Amino acid sequence: MLLLSEVSPPQLFSLLIFGMNLDASTNRVARFTLIAGCLVALVLVIGAIVSAYILRQNSIKDRSEQISNLTVVLAEHAAQTMYSANTALDSLVDAVVAANIKTEAEYRAFAEKKAQFLNLEEKTNSNAIIDVATYVGSEGKVLNFSRSYPPPKIDLSMRDYYQYLSTNTSTQTYFSNPVRNKGNGKWVFYLAKRISNSKGEFLGIALIGVSAEVFSKFYEQIGSNLGEGSSLVLFKKDQTLLTRWPFVDERIGKVNNSENFTKFLENPKLQGEVILTDAPTAIRNNERVQRMVAFRNVPGYPLVVGAVATEELYLTGWRQSLYGILYTTIFSLILVFVGVKLLLRSLRANFKNQHLANHDVLTGLPNRLLFADRLQQTLAQAERNKTKFALVFIDLDNLKFINDNYSHAAGDVALCEAANRMLKHVRSSDTVARIGGDEFVLLLPNIENESNALAIAEKVRTSLLERFVANGHELVTGASFGVALFPDHGDNESILSSNADKAMYRAKTGGRNRVCLFDPLLDNKTS
C-alpha cells in the first residue's frame, strides 16, 4: 500500500489530478499546463468581471437616457392636455366677461340659462379630455354644468379650489386636488378660475374637470413596453399625486414626501436627471427597492411628471449579456479542469434525474412519490415523539373550466399560481405536493390541534380566491379542502389519506371553496 507520507509532492499532485503516478516529465508538463490554464482562467475571470462592470454601466446609462427621454414625452403630453383644458376654461370666463356682468344676480341669471348648459355640454362632448364643465356661484353652489339641465343641488364650498379662489383675487388657473366624481366614482381633478366683475368682486368660479383616466390610459400605452415594476406618475408641485400607472387607487390624492421628489423640487438642475436609489417605496409597503427615478416639470403648469424603473427592468439586458460572459468563462474553466468537469457533470446529471423523478415538472413541487416518502417519515417521527400532524387534500374547483374556456396554457398558469400561493402560506417545515391533475396535498407536521391545521388550510383557501391574470384574462381558481389529523383520524398512511380525501369530497359536494375537517359521522356515511 502506498502511504501519502511516502509520496513526493509531484507524485501526490498526479495522483490527485489524474488518479495515477506519472513520470517526472509528464508530471512537469501537467503542472505547467495546469498553472498556465489557471493563469488563463484567472485572466478570463478578471476580464469577465471588468466586462460585466462596463456592460452594467452602459446598461444603466442607456436605460437612464430612455427614462429621461420618457419624462420629456410625459411632460409634453401633460402640457398639451392642460393647454386644451385651460383653453376651454378661458372660454367660459371670457363668455362672462363678454356679457359685461356687473353683479352677482346678473352672473347667476347668465350662468343658469339653458344656452349656457348647451355651451358647457358642447365643450365636454367636443373634447375627450374634459369630464365636466361647470359654473359655480359665489356661495359654492353649482349653477349649471354639462351633465344635466337643470343641475342637481351640489355644494362645492368645501372644495380646495373654492376655498382658495373665493378669498384670493388671482386670475391664474387653480389646479385642484383629485376627488372622486360623485356621478361615476372616477377620479377627477379640476382646473378652476375666479370670475369677478370689473371691480374685482367675487361672483363665482368656472370649472373644467379632467379625468385622471386621460393620463393613466396614456401612461399604460407607453408604460406597458417598459416591463413589470415600472411606473409613470403625475404630481402637483405641492407633491399631491394626481394619477399614476399602474393605477393604485389608495395613493391618488396623497402627498409624496419622498426624499428624491423633495430633492428634485428644491433643485432645478435635477430636471430630467435620473437618480439611482433604494429609498423605501410606499407602493411596496415601504420596502427598499433598487430603482431608477426621473422627474420633469410640465412647462407652463404647476405639475410634475415622473418615471420609475426597477432594477429588474433596467438591468435585464445586462443580465442577459452576463450569462454569455459567464458561460464563456465557465467553458474555459471546464476545458482546463476536465476531471472536475466530468465529476460536476455526473453530479449534476444525477441530481437532475433525482429531481425530475421526485418533483412535478410544471409546478416544481414534490410529486406523489416524494410526498409518500415524506409522509412515511413524518408518520414515523410522530409515532416516536407522540405528536400530531395534519394531512390536507386539496382539489382546485375551477381548473377544468379554465382549461375548457381559456386553454390549457391558462390552466398551467393557474396550477403554478396555486402552487406559489400555497407555498407562501405554509410553514417552512410543511410540504406542498402535487399528486394529480388538479389535486394537491399539504403535510403539516407538529400540529398541536385541529384548529392550527384548519387555520393554515383557511389561509391557503383564502389566497386561492385572489384573482390572477392568464392569457389576458382575470381568473380565479378556488379550492376544496379536506383535513385529517394523525392519530385522531387515522394511525396509518392509508386510513389517514382516505379520511382526508373523504373530507375533501364533502367540501366538494357541499358547495366547494371550503375547508372540511374529517368527521366520521358524516364522511363515512357518504363514502
Higher pLDDT, 216 or 227: 216
- Determine which helix (DSSP H) or strand (DSSP E) holds 343, and give its type and residue range: helix 338-358
Does one domain contain both 137 and 265?
A: no
Higher pLDDT, 223 or 168: 168
Tell me what the mean pLDDT of segment 471-489 comes to.
Answer: 93
Q: How many residues does the chain have?
A: 527
Does one domain contain both 418 and 458?
A: yes
Does one domain contain both 242 and 111?
A: no
Distance CA 260, CA 251 (A): 17
For residue 160, give the CATH number of its domain.
3.30.450.20
* Helix axes 24-98 and 316-336, enclosed angle (nearest 10): 180
* Helix axes 399-406 and 408-424, enclosed angle (nearest 10): 150
> Number of structural domains, the chain?
3
Distance CA 132, CA 130 (A): 6
| Pick from 236, 179, 240, 164: nearest CA to 211 | 179
How large a percentage of the chain has pLDDT more than 90? 50
Please name the amino acid found at residue 115: A
CA 372 to chain CA mean position, Å: 36
Q: What angle do CA 38, 44, 45 make, to 5 degrees?
A: 90
C-alpha cell, 222: 407607453
Does one domain contain both 461 and 395?
A: yes
The range of the structural domain enclosing residue 203 comes to 99-211
Residue 250 DSSP class:
G
Q: Does the pLDDT value for residue 4 go beyond 50?
A: no
Does one domain contain both 521 and 420?
A: yes
Q: Does the pLDDT value for residue 27 go beyond 70?
A: no
Inside any domain, residue 374: yes
Does one domain contain both 499 and 388?
A: yes
Does one domain contain both 142 and 185?
A: yes
Q: Where residue 83 falls among pLDDT bands split at 50, 70, 90?
A: very high
Does one domain contain both 382 and 490?
A: yes
Q: Does the pLDDT value for residue 127 go beyond 60?
A: yes
- Determine which helix (DSSP H) or strand (DSSP E) holds 394, and give its type and residue range: strand 389-396
Contact criterion met (CB below 8 Å) for 368 and 443: no
Tell me what the mean pLDDT of segment 268-287 comes to.
Answer: 63
Does one domain contain both 184 and 232?
A: no
User: What pLDDT is attached to residue 405?
Assistant: 92
Domain termination residue (choose one: 185, 211, 237): 211
Least-confidence region, from 120-129, 217-226, 236-245: 217-226
pLDDT in tens, 87-121: 999 999 999 999 999 999 999 999 999 999 999 99
Q: Is the pTM of this model over 0.75?
A: no
Distance CA 92, CA 505 (A): 68
pLDDT in tens, 306-330: 888 776 666 666 667 777 777 777 8
Inside any domain, residue 90: no
Does one domain contain both 200 and 228?
A: no
Residue 176 DSSP class:
P
pLDDT in tens, 416-437: 999 999 999 999 999 999 999 9
User: What pLDDT is attached to residue 30?
Assistant: 60
Does one domain contain both 145 and 227?
A: no
Residue with cell 381568473: 475
For residue 516, give the CATH number of its domain.
3.30.70.270
Does one domain contain both 203 and 123?
A: yes
Phi, psi of 172 (to 5 degrees): -75, 155
